[in-house]
Structure 1
Amino acid sequence: MHTTQRPVVSAGSPILAMARRAAEYRAAGRRVIDLTLGEPDFTPPAHVVAAAQRAAARPLGYTPTNGIPELRRVVRRTLERDRGLRRTDAEVTVGCGAKQVIFNAFFATLRAGDEVIIPAPYWASYPEMVRLCGGAPVHVACAAGSGFTLSPDALATAVTDRTRWVVLNAPGNPTGATYSHEAVAGLAEALRRHPAVMILSDEIYAHICYVAGEYVSIAQVAPDLSERILLVDGVSKAYAMTGWRVGWGSGPADLILRITAVQTHNCTQTSTVSQIAAVAALEGPQDLLTGRCETYRWRRDAALAILKRSRHLDTQEPDGAFYLFPRLAADDDVAAADALLEAGCATVPGSDFGATGHLRLSCAIDVATLEEGCSIIVATLGGNPAWSR
């Protein structure tokens, strides 16, 4: 179980820090376009809101720590519908967002000095969660030329006898990177040689994918590794329910039991109303997911058309999620983000994601505002000699 050694306190989320700075500028009367948060601007589906209203109008008590039975059942049906995976009730647990499920998994399994392999660029919270749980994040750089994806050779080189987890996130935050069936199979083959390594497959953006064909999960490609895979998902991104805080993990029963034990002592359960709303989201019409994905694709393309006009940026077309991750001509991404904030557009420095010299922009905003923000970026970088090639 988890070490009793006191972890180092995290400095907090750099994404939220930049969002707070943007809010402070707006509170002072300045116009700032906020492209920092990965938060959909859609409203939750109407039938989800109605289910929550009905639930809130009746007495509600504590629920099982691992989620109400109805939600666990519908998560299992969703895994079978969307991934072709059959899971038992003991192999599913519910948390306060996918983020908490990941933290609980690390807390339940990491001992002091255990290593977690994290492909870079990475979501800023992964390494901080590992550190808070007493582990050591091991960053593996993934080049833009390879689509920001982890190769089997790079994975094999990074594994040591202290490696406890490897993190896979696709479509990825901040790059939108995805893996082909062949690429996932290659990673699975490399992992077969290291039976003590667990696999965290963060699939929170799976429904926001622009490549042809169905989403590919390592749990589908390598069923023989199922006893080592924790698949994490939730309603935050696909269903625009970030503030409802509902996510789930699916994995081996012994790991799920340990995750649930951690949950018992840190917050007891996920909000009952939110769980009931999540049931409605997963059981209701799913065609809205396709429509929203197309909206994100349209926004991505509109932003790319503007950013590609700049000779100071190199912007790849992401295959999923709702971010752009342009490379600056100069490496000082922190100074660039500060300059852009002063000019009226808030972004997040790529160094916060393990990729110095980049900026992360969220496309989860209406296209007119997004285009205005991208125009500010192009004009600001073009007017500053520091960003010249």
Structure 2
Amino acid sequence: MTAITFSDQIHAAIRSTAPGYMQAGHRDFAQFDMSRGEARFTWPAEVLAAMPDPRGEDLRYQDPRGSAALREAFLAHRTIRSQPGLDPRQLLVTAGAKQALWLAFAVTVRAGDRILLPCPGWAPYRIWAEAFGARASFYDPSPLHADALLAEIAARNCDHVVINSPHNPTGAEYDQAIIDRIAAAAADAGVTIISDEVYRDLGRDRASFLAHIGTPGGVMVADSLSKTAGAAGLRIGFLAGAADVVDAALAVRATMDSCPPGTGQALATFLLSPAAAALRHGIRQFAQASVARLAEKLRALGTPAESSGALYLWVPASGDGDCVALGDGMLARGVPGRTFGLGGHVRLCPVDSDERIARLLGVAFEPGGEA
């Protein structure tokens, strides 16, 4: 009998739970492509000129945990509103937040575990859960349904819960008060929290689970520069958690990556520094304005977004297609809701340097201010 490999399980999970995941965003017939899940724009010349010049040292093997300078920059930037005393040993630099999240699953989720996932939600959560042999159930990630999630945790109906706030694909987000309540309930129940916070800096409240790392049950936070600094291709992410969990993630990661790239870490350190504060602030303002303007335009056309925030609007679809009418025969292409486990909707991302989208929404990217 042929053994069932982990690769077979991954492929089976993709086919059964998100058959369109790898194909999303490949069609190009609508006037406005809003299917991409990243802030897309051209960095201003003054930012490009200020970037560090890669040196020979950056091309050698690096500290497997990530450079000390980058981890310190992350902690200085991210924990101002959370937990200033977070230790650098509780932080691992990864190849983007996707790797950080996969590592969080790899070191905690076991066959037979019960894992609670948001629905709609980012497809890899369910793909990984099923590949690791966990039993997935689902909750509504809207803050209006936070009490239902809290009840599930308090009843110990799960071993792990994945939180993604602000949320992909709906843009909905929890404020800090809700996050604190979820963390307290999970600690009481011994439930592990895996928090995907890649959109945090684009949210209204910038709420975070970082302050709850080290609580019973365990909290892990995944983050990156993909959205915050408009640097999705840089592939620099972060996994924060208890020191022993981070050590375990480092051991797993070492089997496929020797270390994070040095040149990318040097650039990431700059992007998290005060020198790039105006850029980060500009991205935040640009994203929030773009989403708000598109929501306003859709509302005027009689198609209000069910929810919006960070980079995304979650809009009812006409049929099961991937386009939304913008009036005057114009169409915006998004990602169909079935890719996220809930049909009848389209996810739109208007945060783009495309001049046509800028003219449509009357929004321009302008760096400036404090991030």
- Give the TM-score taking structure 1 as reference length: 0.78
The residue aligned with 1:17 is 23
Structure 2 unaligned runs (5+)?
A: 362-371
Does residue 207 of structure 1 match 2:209?
Answer: no
The residue aligned with 1:172 is 167
Per-residue deviation, 1:239? 0.4
- In structure 2, distance between residues paired with 1:215 and 1:98: 17
Q: Counterpart of 1:55 in 2: which secondary structure? A: coil
- In structure 1, distance between residues paired with 2:293 and 2:281: 19
2:342 corresponds to which letter in structure 1?
A: A
Corresponding pairs, count: 348
- Aligned pairs for 1:1-389 (under 5 A) are 6=6, 7-9=9-11, 10-11=14-15, 14=20, 16-22=22-28, 32-44=31-43, 49=48, 54-55=53-54, 60-142=59-141, 147=142, 150-157=145-152, 163-195=158-190, 197-210=191-204, 214-220=205-211, 222=212, 225=215, 228-283=218-273, 284-311=275-302, 313-316=303-306, 318=308, 320-328=309-317, 332=319, 334=320, 336-337=321-322, 345-366=332-353, 369-370=356-357
- In structure 2, distance between residues paired with 1:187 and 1:346: 35
Per-residue deviation, 1:235? 0.8
- 85-94 vs 180-189, which moves further: 180-189
Per-residue deviation, 1:223? 6.4
- In structure 1, distance between residues paired with 2:200 and 2:179: 15
- In structure 1, distance between residues paired with 2:156 and 2:185: 15
- In structure 2, distance between residues paired with 1:72 and 1:16: 32
1:337 corresponds to which letter in structure 2?
A: D
Whether the 8 Å CA contact 1:250–1:256 is kept in 2: the answer is: yes
Whether the 8 Å CA contact 1:229–1:252 is kept in 2: the answer is: yes
Q: Counterpart of 1:199 in 2: which secondary structure? A: strand
Structure 1 unaligned runs (5+)?
A: 26-30, 375-389
* Shift in CA distance, 327/108, structure 1 to aligned 2, threshold 3 Å: same
- In structure 2, distance between residues paired with 1:229 and 1:89: 16
- In structure 2, distance between residues paired with 1:110 and 1:234: 22
Give the share of equivalent positions with the same residue, in percent.
Answer: 24
Whether the 8 Å CA contact 1:93–1:250 is kept in 2: the answer is: yes
Whether the 8 Å CA contact 2:199–2:228 is kept in 1: the answer is: yes
- In structure 1, distance between residues paired with 2:21 and 2:55: 32
* Shift in CA distance, 8/113, structure 1 to aligned 2, threshold 3 Å: farther
- 365-374 vs 300-309, which moves further: 365-374
Per-residue deviation, 1:76? 2.4
Deviations 1:235-268 (A, max 9, x none): 1101011001001011101110111111101222
Whether the 8 Å CA contact 1:96–1:269 is kept in 2: the answer is: no
- In structure 1, distance between residues paired with 2:268 and 2:102: 21
Per-residue deviation, 1:174? 1.2
- In structure 2, distance between residues paired with 1:326 and 1:339: 8
The residue aligned with 2:367 is none
Per-residue deviation, 1:345? 3.8
Whether the 8 Å CA contact 2:187–2:216 is kept in 1: the answer is: no
More helix by share: 1
1:106 corresponds to which letter in structure 2?
A: F
* Shift in CA distance, 158/224, structure 1 to aligned 2, threshold 3 Å: closer
- In structure 2, distance between residues paired with 1:93 and 1:51: 26
- In structure 2, distance between residues paired with 1:199 and 1:271: 28
Whether the 8 Å CA contact 1:306–1:371 is kept in 2: the answer is: no
Whether the 8 Å CA contact 1:169–1:201 is kept in 2: the answer is: yes
Q: Counterpart of 2:263 in 1: which secondary structure? A: helix
2:283 corresponds to which letter in structure 1?
A: R
- In structure 2, distance between residues paired with 1:54 and 1:371: 32
- Give the TM-score taking structure 2 as reference length: 0.82
2:313 corresponds to which letter in structure 1?
A: L
Whether the 8 Å CA contact 2:180–2:209 is kept in 1: the answer is: yes
Whether the 8 Å CA contact 1:41–1:240 is kept in 2: the answer is: yes
